[in-house]
Amino acid sequence: MPITPPGLAAVIAPALIATGHVGPAVFQYASGVAAGVFTYLTVLAKVLTVDTGTIGVGAGVTPLIVPTPLITAGLTQGFAAQGIAGPMAPLTILGLSIGLTEGFLQGIITTTHTTVGVGAGVVRIQGGSAIPAMIAGFSSVGMTGTGAVRKATAIGIALDTTFAAFTTVTPIAGPAGPSPSVGVGQGTVV
């Protein structure tokens, strides 16, 4: 199942509620986060791989599994950078960490490999900053103003930090050639 804004919001909102966030604004907040994350991962970010295996042309498919501690560290850094503090900040970070971890599981990394037919590729997700996508996501659900921009910027910083440190491995499948090969691949998150 591909990653979608409603699918992301459907797991982020309950995670926020479970950490003490109540009221109708929770769903607006979750929808803004979901819209920004979706835009960043599916439009702005690109998947690059470093491949090894046998010569040929192959493809890879792997789930987007991002560890919760990695997201938590990024959110903590983003909240601190934006001066978002107070008794609810740790709970917000926890709720977002859990929700994003579950939401990312909806994503699938698809890759193509022009020099490796069978083997493995180390995956990195790269792109510009996620901050503009997060601000646009918040704006798309009516969250504007200084406070909304600071919250969106904090989450954008978290995504930048998280994906700067994130790697995973994808299997490469295709016709196997007679000799070893290395190369680079590319792909997207769907």
Contacts of 18 (CB under 8 A, 6+ apart): 95, 98
Calculate the alpha carbon distances from 28 to 106, 139, 180, 188 in Å: 20, 10, 51, 27
Average pLDDT over residues 51-63: 97
pLDDT score of 1:
67
Q: From 132, 116, 129, select the one nearest 170 (Cα to Cα).
A: 116
pLDDT level of residue 176 (50, 70, 90 thresholds): confident
Ordered by start, the domain boundaries in the chain are: 5-175+183-189
Calculate the alpha carbon distances from 124 to 32, 111, 149 in Å: 25, 11, 27
Asked whether the beta carbons of 54 and 179 are under 8 A apart, the reply is yes
Q: Which two tokens stand for residue 23?
A: 């009221």
Please say if the pLDDT value at position 109 is more than 70.
yes
pLDDT level of residue 143 (50, 70, 90 thresholds): very high
Q: Which two tokens stand for residue 146?
A: 């200084």
Q: Give the burial class of 24: count Cβ atoms within 10 A of its Cβ; 0-12 exposed, 13-18 middle, 19 or more buried.
A: exposed
pLDDT tens column, 65-104: 999 999 999 999 999 999 999 999 999 999 999 999 999 9
- The packing angle between helices 5-18 and 89-104, to 10°, is 140
pLDDT score of 127:
87
Cα angle 102, 86, 81; round to 5 = 70
Q: From 49, 78, 85, 65, select the one nearest 171 (Cα to Cα).
A: 49
